[in-house]
Structure 1
Amino acid sequence: MTDARQHSPSAERNRDAILAVLRDVLPATGRVLEIASGTGEHAVWFAGALPGLDWQPSDADADARASIAAWAAHAGLPNLRAPLALDVRQPDWGAAALDAVVCINMLHISPWGAAQALFDGAGRRLVDGGVLYLYGPYKRGGAHTAPSNDAFDHWLKSRNPEWGVRDMEAVVALGEAAGLACEKAVAMPANNFSLVFRKRAGARSAGEVVS
């Protein structure tokens, strides 16, 4: 029988550093939607370490969802759900009243419209005080934080002109427009950052779609 589990060396390298931040910012209990879960290794690791959270992985890619499902079956965790087929640009996310949204390494490998849709969707669906957690490389003040990120940015844009390392200030502005205040920016290993946004009480994006 073929094992559909995929492996990501970077996911294994960064999972503990990310988990340390998640322990600090996520609630002890509640529902978490992970956007662009990739191989599913992060979902298994975080759900196992945070058993009070109902962890909902998702991905737009069918092969990724097969890997997530295989990892979930292998782990057998009661708080890890089957992956959703989800592109943040679709109107129905299949999830509402979320306590947190987690999105790792997506913004730089998707069009800017996906970042806009992520914040809009999270702003609509997070409960008051809910958390949006982002991880990845960012520019600050329009400048790269390391030569390796500059090279990475050029490589990304060579693959797709709509991709690229994002300006942290522009991402924070998206949060403000969606009612999500940037609570902290945490420097992480390998020139990455954790950005933590929190839903302001009473804030709503335009419209009230929460499906």
Structure 2
Amino acid sequence: NLLLADEINRSPAKVQSALLEVMQEKQVTLGDTTFKLDLPFFVMATQNPVEQEGVYQLPEAQLDRFMLKLVVDYNTKEQELEIARRISSGNFEKINSVITHEDLAELKKAVKAVHVDPQVEEYMIELVNATRNPNEYGLDEIKDYIQFGASPRVSIDMFKAVKAMAFMRGKDFVTPVDIAYIAKELMRHRIVLTYEAEAEGITTDEIIQKVLETVAIP
């Protein structure tokens, strides 16, 4: 049910192509045979942002398949101490299942039932559109930094993700706060910057933050 693709940017083109199929179609093709995967199925991937030797450029089409991109920082001192202690002693707790397929199905139903006001829906579309047409929102200062704005898949995923975010925060309705909380994770890997932005050290997170600060909140 869970595929972990470790250091995905070390995978050659054929592997990445196969991963695209499994993420989109939930199936694997081997020769003339197609194998359907059990549901639920989702992919988590890690990417080494430092090393450049032996890595492959990830195509935008593949990045766009991932709903979220999380930036993992260093551990806290306390976390690192606990990691080192566990590894050195070999003292790991037995991993047990904490949820069943039936439980997950019920949670999915509950998340789908979270209410999104039409004005909030329109606000999400405005945020995505602002990355494509910054001039319409008075964002002239960032227009030269964006080569390609967020794709339509962002809008689809945002409608799903904000419901889950509201649900995890104990609410049965979505607010703009829920959207702001997860907007960078949804869009940072789906906005393509210009060479000018890269030369000036501008990041997609900075672009998204400017959009959040500018687009009118309902």
Q: TM-score range by the shorter chain?
A: under 0.3
Scaled by the length of structure 2, what TM-score is found?
A: 0.24
Structure with higher helix content: 2
Scaled by the length of structure 1, what TM-score is found?
A: 0.25
Structure with higher strand content: 1
Name which one, 1 or 2, has greater alpha-carbon Rg. 2
